Amino acid sequence: MKVNFVRKPTPSEIYPQDEFIIEKVVRLSKEEFEDLLKEPLKDRNYVKENKDLMYEDKDGYMHCIYVVCKGFDYGILIESEGSDYPRYTAYLPTAVFDLK
């Protein structure tokens, strides 16, 4: 299992603070998913095509797409804030969902 360790964390870096709503699940090929992991700030067609679904609402909820790939036990939440690239991202295990 892998996690992201934060050096000398503040309380806000230890406890999850952002509420989110998954608007759509986007399934990628292994190559596309690995490219996202290697270069997360590149413009992506699947982000551009779904950017109207991604925003922060008046109650502070982040409306996101959830990008997953067969063979990975996690996905990436993306909120683009109107951009064609993933401006905000978060790691989220797929085990909390039934993504059949």
Domain boundaries, the chain: 17-96
Q: How far is CA 92 from the centre of its chain?
A: 7
What is the average per-residue pLDDT within 53-66? 95
1 vs 64, higher pLDDT: 64
- pLDDT tens per residue, range 21-48: 999 999 999 999 999 999 999 999 999 9
